[in-house]
């Protein structure tokens, strides 16, 4: 397939626009040097690579890849690599900025990075994907590394992709370097609990915000859009705490049981595509109907931009917790603010993923594996620490939960820039 950039332009704000808007909103509450803010509006560097691939039929094709480095004042760049036909340089820059805020709000000593290849992975055989990944690792080798930039899986990439990447990098470096990527299979330095972590953190944060508003989790109804990795793990975590998860969905539609679904019995999309049609639930709904159900907590955990100007006024949930990245458009966000509906932002709610990636990196550079129990305990500690910091800002300023999270992130980044100063 061709390696040109797609013409596709999303109707909503781009990731860069969102990241810059959030930066500006947070900056308005802080006394930060304008030079630092201006620096954070832009990436440090963006790399474009051309990846030649020999297809299985012997023909040769070129693919375009990017790696954006936003900011590394607090530590190595960190962020996923996606394989998707809509990948653009601008999107990688925007998503790398989100990673800077996400790592900072969690107080993880990483900065923001993101990359991708303009390719539809469904068009590639497994061996083609392997060759593409190995060549990409080689092309990116000068600008990545365990102490400089640590990629991870994202859309269209998975633990196997990371294993090939790590192997290619290690072979060229002459030593096994598991810390060059995270999200690897545990047998080569991946962490236990990494897969469940983003959903688990959504569950932990939901539990905390319920407590903040004096609600009993056992008396809570929850609707989860997207019963994939994030959604299923969040739903099962809350179900285990006694919440009634009344609706879950996949791309085909939603299932609904006002008495609460047995989320451990419902199979996830990965486990069996089309689980909604296959599951015997009292009612089925559309995804749109799920978003406007009268529940206590709504967790959009599928894709971005699902809560919009069109449906935000119809949302009946009392609290929204963002499981997916960017599920709430800026207009919807404003509507929720006007309506007094708290929205816990993605950069903290699903940050369990990057947090356990950090744990994975620690295990890799120390050559010491943690048990699943230790991973989950430390994840709980880190989530509560981040939540406390956000709560302090939320309570001391008249801001939304999202603004409070960005204020925490920006103040840490700005302070680091301040004390490090400018070189030379």
Binding flag, residue 96, ligand NAD (CB under 6 A) = no
Q: Which stretch binds ligand NAD (CB under 6 A): 23-31, 174-182, 223-231, 311-319?
A: 223-231
Q: Using CB under 6 A, which residues numbered 169 to 198 contact ligand NAD?
A: 198
Contact 384, 355 (CB under 8 A): no
Closest to ligand NAD by CB, 72 vs 249, is: 249
Closest to ligand NAD by CB, 88 vs 411, is: 88
Minimum Å distance from CB 177 to ligand NAD?
22
At 259 the three-state DSSP class reads coil
Q: Binding ligand NAD by CB under 6 A: which of 301, 347, 348, 413?
A: 301
Binding flag, residue 69, ligand NAD (CB under 6 A) = no
Bridge partners of 285, per DSSP, are 254
User: 382 is written with which tokens?
Assistant: 């880190």
Minimum Å distance from CB 58 to ligand NAD?
33
Distance CA 18, CA 40 (A): 13
At 224 the three-state DSSP class reads strand
Closest to ligand NAD by CB, 171 vs 281, is: 281
Q: Which stretch binds ligand NAD (CB under 6 A): 137-145, 156-164, 249-257, 336-344?
A: 249-257
Beta strand 60-71 with 45-54: parallel, antiparallel or unpaired? antiparallel
Binding flag, residue 250, ligand NAD (CB under 6 A) = yes
Among 361, 140, 142, residue whose Cα is nearest residue 132: 140
Listed in sequence order, the residues at least 6 apart from 161 whose beta carbon sits closer than 8 Å to its beta carbon are: 81, 83, 129, 133, 153
Helices (H), 281-371: 287-291, 330-339, 346-349, 352-366
Q: Binding ligand NAD by CB under 6 A: which of 49, 251, 281, 362?
A: 251
Contact 97, 113 (CB under 8 A): no
Minimum Å distance from CB 155 to ligand NAD?
7
Closest to ligand NAD by CB, 118 vs 356, is: 356
Strand segments, DSSP code E, in 123-256 are 149-153, 221-225, 244-250, 253-256
Binding flag, residue 324, ligand NAD (CB under 6 A) = yes
Reply yes or no on whether 114 is catalytic.
yes
Continuous segment of H or E residues that includes residue 77: strand 77-84
Binding flag, residue 161, ligand NAD (CB under 6 A) = no
- Catalytic: which of 78, 102, 114, 129? 114
Q: Binding ligand NAD by CB under 6 A: which of 193, 203, 228, 342?
A: 228
Q: How far is CA 384 from CA 55, 104, 106, 245, 390, in A?
A: 48, 15, 10, 23, 10
Q: Find the radius of gyration of the CA atoms of the chain.
A: 21
Binding flag, residue 229, ligand NAD (CB under 6 A) = yes
Q: Which stretch binds ligand NAD (CB under 6 A): 62-70, 229-237, 335-343, 389-397?
A: 229-237
Q: Using CB under 6 A, which residues numbered 326 to 385 contact ligand NAD?
A: 350, 353
Closest to ligand NAD by CB, 16 vs 53, is: 16
Binding flag, residue 302, ligand NAD (CB under 6 A) = yes
Q: Which stretch binds ligand NAD (CB under 6 A): 205-213, 220-228, 258-266, 361-369?
A: 220-228
Q: Which stretch binds ligand NAD (CB under 6 A): 26-34, 133-141, 168-176, 226-234?
A: 226-234
Lookup result for tokens 């790696």: 67
Among 186, 188, 157, 183, residue whose Cα is nearest residue 170: 188
Complete DSSP assignment for 95-133 = HHHHHHHHHHHTT-S-EEEEEEEE--GGGS-HHHHHHHH
Which residue ranges make up the site for ligand NAD (CB under 6 A)? 198, 225-231, 249-251, 269-270, 287, 301-304, 323-325, 350, 353
Write out the catalytic residue numbers.
114
């Amino acid at each position: 397939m061709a390696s040109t950039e797609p013409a596709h332009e999303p109707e909503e704000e781009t990731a860069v626009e969102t990241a810059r808007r959030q930066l500006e909103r947070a900056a308005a509450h802080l006394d930060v040097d304008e030079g630092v803010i201006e620096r954070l509006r832009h990436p440090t560097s963006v790399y474009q690579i051309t990846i030649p691939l020999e297809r299985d039929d012997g023909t040769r094709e070129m693919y375009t890849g990017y790696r954006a480095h936003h900011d590394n004042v607090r530590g190595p760049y960190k962020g996923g690599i996606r394989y998707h036909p809509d990948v653009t340089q601008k999107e990688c820059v925007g998503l790398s900025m989100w990673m800077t805020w996400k790592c900072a709000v969690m107080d993880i000593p990483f900065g923001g990075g993101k990359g991708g290849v303009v390719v539809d992975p469904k068009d590639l055989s497994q061996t083609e994907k392997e060759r593409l990944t190995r060549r990409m690792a080689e092309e990116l080798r000068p600008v990545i590394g365990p102490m400089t930039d640590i990629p991870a899986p994202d859309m269209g990439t998975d633990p196997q992709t990371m294993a090939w990447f790590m192997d290619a990098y290690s072979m060229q470096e002459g030593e096994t370097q598991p810390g060059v990527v995270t999200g690897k299979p545990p047998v080569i330095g991946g962490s236990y609990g990494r897969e469940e972590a983003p959903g688990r953190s959504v569950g932990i944060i939901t539990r905390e915000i319920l407590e903040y508003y004096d609600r009993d989790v056992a008396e809570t109804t929850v609707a989860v859009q997207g019963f994939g990795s994030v959604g299923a793990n969040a739903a099962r975590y809350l179900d285990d705490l006694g919440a009634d998860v009344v609706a879950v969905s996949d791309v085909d539609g939603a299932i609904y049981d006002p008495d609460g679904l047995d989320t451990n019995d419902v199979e996830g999309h990965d486990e069996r595509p089309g689980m909604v049609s296959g599951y015997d639930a009292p009612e089925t709904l559309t995804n749109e109907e799920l978003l406007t159900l009268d529940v206590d907590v709504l967790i959009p955990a599928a894709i971005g931009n699902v809560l919009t100007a069109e449906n935000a006024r119809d949302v009946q949930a009392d609290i929204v917790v963002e499981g997916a990245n960017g599920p709430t458009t800026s207009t919807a966000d404003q509507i929720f603010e006007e309506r007094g509906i708290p929205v816990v932002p993605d950069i903290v709610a699903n940050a369990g993923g990057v947090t356990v990636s950090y744990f994975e990196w620690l295990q890799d550079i120390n050559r010491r594996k943690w048990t699943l129990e230790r991973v989950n305990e430390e994840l709980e500690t880190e989530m509560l620490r981040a939540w406390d910091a956000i709560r302090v800002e939320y309570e001391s300023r008249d801001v939304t939960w999202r603004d409070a999270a960005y204020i925490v992130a920006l103040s840490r980044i700005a302070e680091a820039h301040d004390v490090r100063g400018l070189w030379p």
